[in-house]
Amino acid sequence: MTQSRLDKLTASLRTSGLSAVALNPGPTLTYLTGVAFHLMERPVVMLISADRDPVLILPELELPKVELFSYKVQAFSYGENPSDWDDVFRKATQSLGLDGKRIGVEPRQMRLLEFRHVKAGAPEADYPDASTVLTALRLKKDKAEVDAMRKAVKIAQDALKATIPLIKIGMAEREVTSELVMHLLRHGSEPELPFAPIVSSGPNSANPHASPSERKLQAGDLLVVDWGAAYDGYISDLTRTFAVGKVDEEYRTIHQIVQDANAAGRAAGRPGVPCANVDKAARDVIEAAGYGKYFTHRTGHGIGMEAHEDPYMRGDNMQLLEPGMAFTVEPGIYLTNRNGVRIEDNVVITETGADVLSDMPREIQVVG
């Protein structure tokens, strides 16, 4: 599988105007190699060119990982003295004849640490954005990838179901979070979660990206839980909103509006439809109900090995959905200093429509 992925990338390089790409540890490197490296103080960089075997620059202590590759790579290793590293990078880039060429990088992933060493090895090279080439590799998921995401969804849903009975009025948001994280691990999530769960109540729930705090749950709160699991390198990203005890009728109303918007967004996703249509379908429901100005973010984002990747469900994105594309549908209404609602599901486009991977009830549920 990794060989075919590498072949697809090298074929793209031949028509992209790039001589090579430089990748440091992250989802794309793992996708292409099947080997996990982590970001640390010692740089790891893989150089992939169109017509030669890939080159891997790594610390000596990581050399055993070269044996895990399914295809041939040329390894250039270095010791603990940082003053020697630029020379190793120079030898690596020279082995591919890259100085003066165009070496693509991932702007969201390549750190200054790795970039400085690559540039020291090829100081006359250009370093353009390779996002278009690299995004296309991971944009459409195959069956194995979808199966892993489906499992990540099940783990996440089972973990929250186990957590719900433990939620009580008077618990701090952080207490709820700790119980949820424990159950995510118990139900099979990889230890490195796709993101830190958001557990926010009352006024905090009106902040879409709130961090769990010491605020205690109170009757009348809405409680937003945005969480996910990781399985075999793939992730889930879900949100459900609960009522803590009895809540005002307006909060039940906005919950129903968001639930309807979520359903409209999910229904809009199918092959050949622009991403913008998914956003519009969900947004139209909320705007028609008079709460349009309280829906302050796009309707969704792509998911896979990362919690946020292409494609993006926003109003100006005319990219057409294709089978294998996976994304979230997560409309929300946020009433500042009062309460907020978000309902989020994970969707994969199929040949004939869309497969919704998540099925946890979306109706408002009372906790506490």
pLDDT of residue 162: 98
255 in Cβ contact with 341 (< 8 Å): yes
Per-residue pLDDT tens for 112-142? Answer: 999 999 999 999 999 999 999 999 999 999 9
Buried-exposed string 329-357: b where 16+ CB fall within 10 A, e elsewhere: bbbbbbbeebbbbbbbbbbbbeeeebeeb
Least Cα distance to 189 among 241, 152, 217, 163 occurs for: 152
Buried-exposed string 146-179: b where 16+ CB fall within 10 A, e elsewhere: bebbbbbbbbbbbbbebbbeebeeebbbebbbbb
d(CA 15, CA 32): 19
Would you call the peptide bond into 311 cis, given omega within 30 degrees of 0 as the criterion? yes
Rg of the chain over Cα atoms, rounded to whole angstroms, equals 23
**Superfamily of 143-367 according to CATH:** Creatinase/methionine aminopeptidase superfamily (3.90.230.10)
- H-helix or E-strand containing 306? none
264 in Cβ contact with 299 (< 8 Å): no
Percent of the chain surpassing pLDDT 70: 100
Per-residue pLDDT tens for 172-226? Answer: 999 999 999 999 999 999 999 999 999 999 999 999 999 999 999 999 999 999 9
Over the chain, what is the mean pLDDT? 97
Report the pLDDT averaged over residues 23-50. 97
Does domain 2-138 sit in CATH 2.102.10.10? no
Residue 80 vs residues 36, 66, 275: alpha-carbon distances, Å: 21, 19, 48
Q: Which residue type occupies 336? A: T
Per-residue pLDDT tens for 165-174? Answer: 999 999 999 9
Report the pLDDT averaged over residues 63-73. 96
Least Cα distance to 21 among 91, 131, 96, 105 occurs for: 105
Q: Which residues contact 305 (CB under 8 A, 6 or more apart)?
A: 27, 30, 31, 138, 233, 234, 235
Per-residue pLDDT tens for 280-297? Answer: 999 999 999 999 999 999
d(CA 120, CA 124): 9
300 in Cβ contact with 283 (< 8 Å): no
Residue 228 pLDDT > 90: yes
Per-residue pLDDT tens for 343-366? Answer: 999 999 999 999 999 999 999 999
pLDDT of residue 293: 98
**Domain assignments of the chain as residue spans, ordered by start:** 2-138, 143-367
Per-residue pLDDT tens for 231-257? Answer: 999 999 999 999 999 999 999 999 999
Percent of the chain surpassing pLDDT 90: 99
Residue 231 CB coordination number (10 Å): 21
Q: What is the DSSP letter of 17?
A: T
Confidence of residue 1 (pLDDT cuts 50, 70, 90): confident
Say what the pTM is.
0.95
208 in Cβ contact with 183 (< 8 Å): no
Question: Which alpha helices (H) appear in the chain, and where do they start and end?
Answer: 2-16, 27-33, 85-95, 112-121, 131-138, 143-163, 173-186, 249-268, 275-288
Least Cα distance to 26 among 147, 121, 131 occurs for: 131
Residue 325 vs residues 134, 137, 140, 282: alpha-carbon distances, Å: 15, 11, 5, 19
